[in-house]
Chains A and B, each alone.
Chain A
Amino acid sequence: MASKGSFTGIFSPSYCPKCYHQLSRVPRRSIQTTAKRTAIAAPPIDLDSLPPIDPSKGRIVPASPSYFTARPDSTDHFLQLQTLLRRHQTLPTISAAQAPRVAWRTLVQYRLLIGEPVRAAKYHRILEILQRLNRIHPNAVPKDLKETLEVFKRDVDPFAVIRPPAIIDEDGKTYGVGRRKESSAKVYLVQGEGNVLINGKSLNAAFGRIHDRESALWALKATSRLDKYNVWALVKGGGTTGQAEAITLGAAKALMAFEPALKPALRRAGCVSRDPRRVERKKPGKAKARKMPAWVKRSATTGDEAHKLMKQSRDKVPKAAAKRRKDGLVPAWVGTNHLTGTGVRSIDVLAALMD
């Protein structure tokens, strides 16, 4: 008999594993699914079968009828989608706004997929058909169409990312994080009578400019909730404008947790989207991001005047330094200026320019 614990499989417990009580006899079912062929007779004659493949009768043909287009795979894709669209043209459709959001492969991803230098216009032609096929009513989409569309979708679906729900904790407070320029603010909101503390300071102490004070509380003001909530914010980084507007965004997010229906009003007030603008980088050849250096007729750093000055300065190498260099006490490259190409210290050139 089976010892304790030797459980003969979930389908055939003839004994209860705990109390040894014999259960009613259940026919043992095998989990094995691979069929074993026991028959040895030959298969029946198929009179329509063809003779075996004979390589000596081979001829070379193109693998695709689009061979002479030089981009056979993408052309075949286009024709396949066109055929599908023609077949399913009469199915009920929905408007483009109602259609499921799909991230199609970008041109670069599509090129990598099929390994052909597809032109942007040709891929756009494919995308147009895909968008039309995507507008077929979700209940009426045929199976073959669904499988074909999968080929053109990105591997990772960015629209499947779902935001975690906002939480109002046991004290009845919630928070939102807002960012603007270099600043980031964590704004706690609790129902109250309109007290505001920013980094432990009052609004007036935190922001000197009246405009900043107004913009920090703009989300509450625009929805006339200034006297309904207390604000407690921690903000860091950036300047006053950035900090104030970071608080706006954080407060708006927290407010939407209390009152989700305010979202359209907040969007109209410009408090829902993060402002993506940053400081533009400085470019070489410019004074700032876009500012050009002032125009000078004979620029001291580029024109003939500069050469003259540099020549003068080369003659003005201090004798002691020259001697040290000559004696080999100092390596030749020390103090070498790339402008003059010789062992001239930049400070000497500058001094000559000052003269």
Chain B
Amino acid sequence: MIVRKALIRHGRRLAHSPRQWTRSLATETDLHDLQDTTEAIDSSLSNATLQTKSIESQAEKSGVQYVPQIDARTQMSQQLLGDGTKYVYDRHRRQQKLQNPLGTTVDKGYQPHRLLTDPPRPSDITLELLLASQAHLGHKTSHWNPANSRYIFGIRQGIHIISLDVTAAHLRRACRVVSSVAERGGLILFVGTRPGQDRCVVTAATMAGGCHLFDRWTPGSITNGDQILRSCRKQVVDEFDREVPEQGAALKDASALKPDLVVCMNPIENWVMLHECGMHGVPTIGIIDTDANPTWVTYPIPANDDSLRCVQVIAGALGRAGQEGQANRREAALAGEVTYRPNRPKRIADRMNASPRAVEAATGLANTGDSGMGPAADGVANRSRNSEVDKNLGYHRAELAS
């Protein structure tokens, strides 16, 4: 009983141990040698069974009665397994699938979730879209920042109305900036710390291959990054975004990363971050409402930052722009072109500068031909035949792409 209980209690840990029980089936065991052992185990097992049975029979003879505990929770869970909910649910889903195509097709109007699942592209930016997403609504006139006067169309019912043609122009320019930075392998950070902005920020960052921040900017993440981001992992990737595994140790010397571009959805709350970006020369894009200071950001987008729909449209368009940039970069990489300045860890870079051949020997890799680094080094001899094939295939593919 003790063994059984221990198994129940620690079962999960055992089940997740790296040694699978199926491995015992895969071993090549010579049964000739094992014969004596198995016989011994068999006899001991049968002995144990006999003993248990005799004890049990004695116990039964003496009239001992076992009274199990009444456990309402266990009973309930047993009932749940047989209550047929799964069957009903599956039938419902099947019916839905069958019946959805039937009948009239309703024209899809505004569906709020579409801004997150399928955000608009930069080419989709129109004045109608911006107007529908309430990008033109500013703040009460008394709250204005006069630096925004060139973005303001007029006053209606006591609030400033933002000029949407300016908004569209600035948004398109910002999209170009994001796209170009992504194309050059830059690190883009999307920030939106107001409640409800998290999902659009994460979606945009995923599309643009950048980073996201939806909780709180830790002050000093740029100015004191070596302390604050000390424990956050970095990695070295090549032009196809594959990890270069040999350089893990060299990364420890590298200082904390700084974004190459910051996109901020609510600059008013994040002035600390914008200040740090300004001090370190990191360009910024921000949604500037009529009460914000447009000089805080490098590329302002005059729009309503209090409307979630407007923020989702802008974040989505910028994310899509980043996606285009990444796609361009990958295309160039396939054509054998590196669109960024390689940013190697210091130790590797030093060795590269010292002697190219030394690095080739150290990393076990030869030059790939297009760098024109002379004849193959000693490392080539050690490389397998397959990788030679791969290398040649890579060029083959590059030719195809071009």
Residues of A within 8 A of B (CB): 5-10, 31-34, 42-43, 45-70, 72, 75, 79, 91-92, 94, 98, 100-101, 115-116, 122, 137-140, 150, 153, 155-157, 160-170, 174, 257-258, 260-261, 263
Contact = CB atoms under 8 A, between A and B. Distances in A.
A231 to B, nearest CB: 18
B328 interface: no
Contacts of B363: 55
Interface in B183-240: 185, 187, 189, 202, 205-206, 210-213, 215, 217-218, 221, 228-229, 231-240
Interface of B: 1, 5, 8-13, 16, 25-26, 28-29, 31-32, 35, 62-70, 73, 76-77, 80-81, 85-86, 88-89, 185, 187, 189, 202, 205-206, 210-213, 215, 217-218, 221, 228-229, 231-240, 242, 244, 246-247, 251, 254, 257, 259, 338, 340, 342-345, 348, 352, 359, 363, 365, 367-368, 371, 385-387, 389-391, 393-398, 400
Contact of B211 (A54, A66, A98, A155): A66
A100 B237 contact: no
B233 A64 contact: yes
A173 to B, nearest CB: 11
A263 B68 CA distance: 13
Contacts of A91: 89
Contacts of B76: 98
19 contacts: A9-B32, A33-B25, A50-B242, A51-B397, A55-B348, A58-B237, A58-B238, A58-B345, A60-B235, A60-B344, A62-B233, A66-B211, A67-B229, A98-B77, A98-B80, A140-B86, A260-B69, A261-B70, A263-B70
A190 to B, nearest CB: 13
Nearest to B36: A5
A61 B10 contact: no
Given A59-B185, A62-B211, A165 B69 contact: yes
B20 to A, nearest CB: 13
A24 B264 CA distance: 81
B236 A60 contact: yes
A23 to B, nearest CB: 17
A136 to B, nearest CB: 10
A178 B390 CA distance: 75
Contact of B236 (A33, A55, A67): A55
Contacts of B235: 60-63
B344 to A, nearest CB: 5
Contacts of A10: 31
Contacts of B206: 65
Contact of B229 (A56, A70, A75, A165): A70
B16 A150 contact: yes
Contacts of B213: 68-69
Contact of B26 (A33, A50, A53, A60): A33
B56 to A, nearest CB: 13
Contact of B254 (A43, A60, A153, A157): A60
B35 A57 contact: no
B229 A57 contact: no
Nearest to B63: A170
A72 B234 CA distance: 11
Contacts of A160: 8-9, 11
Given A55-B344, A140-B85, A169 B67 contact: no
Contact of B85 (A9, A43, A92, A100): A92
A165 B67 contact: yes
A261 to B, nearest CB: 8
A209 B68 CA distance: 37
Contact of A60 (B77, B240, B251, B391): B251
Given A59-B185, A161-B5, A168 B65 contact: yes
A49 B73 contact: no
Contacts of A48: 397
B110 to A, nearest CB: 20
A60 B12 contact: no
Nearest to B229: A70
Contacts of A49: 390, 393-394, 397
A258 B67 CA distance: 8
A9 B31 CA distance: 6
A31 B29 CA distance: 8
B123 to A, nearest CB: 26
Nearest to B343: A59
Nearest to A164: B1
A156 B371 contact: no
A49 B77 CA distance: 51
A53 B238 contact: yes
List the 7 closest pairs (A to B, CB-CB), nearest first.
A51-B394, A63-B233, A139-B86, A58-B236, A170-B63, A170-B62, A59-B343
